[in-house]
Amino acid sequence: MRILVALYRFSVATMISQPVSIVRSVILIVIVASGTAACSSSQLAPQQSKSPSGYVVKPSSRPVIGERAAAVALQQVGVPYRYGGSTPSGFDCSGLVHYSYTSAGKSVPRTTTALWAELAPIQNHDMRVGDLLFFKISGKMSHVGMYLGNGRFVHAPSSGKTVSVESLGSDYYREAFVRAGRPQ
């Protein structure tokens, strides 16, 4: 029950500071509240509900910053890609990461290159919810997403698409994946 109260307080604070995403916040509260009893892992778990992403973050009793950032990023599923975008009206990949971490209370660099340079690599088996995943697209490291657990990540893919949840196990992303890093 304390988890639900903490999630409610966090979601209300998010709704107040981000009025554009009120509907997504309310949906997330309902999804998290309905899935809290059923999910026994601190990772993400598929839900039976009709949420935009189908995944929720079940935070620990004291959610770490990465879990809070992942919850914010999941609220943005469906928002259109916009080059240079870093608001709920449109995101590019690093803009989504920057917005999510800033909303969760942690300052991180704004660009994929700056994120790559600042974060020390972590081993794949050590990845946690909220870790950043770097991808090589068209021969160069140029894309970042946020790990959700269970081999899934959220990202703003490219022009004409929307913020979405993908699998690291897909052929495309498995081959493009370079490394993970964790904001400290």
Residues serving a catalytic function are: 93, 143, 155
How is residue 43 written in tokens? Answer: 């990772």
How is residue 183 written in tokens? Answer: 């904001």
Distance from C-alpha of 82 to C-alpha of 107, rounded to nearest angstrom: 21
Distance from C-alpha of 80 to C-alpha of 83, rounded to nearest angstrom: 10
Beta bridge partners of 146: 132, 154
Residue type for position 113: T
Distance from C-alpha of 139 to C-alpha of 94, rounded to nearest angstrom: 18
Tokens 């409610």, located at residue: 8
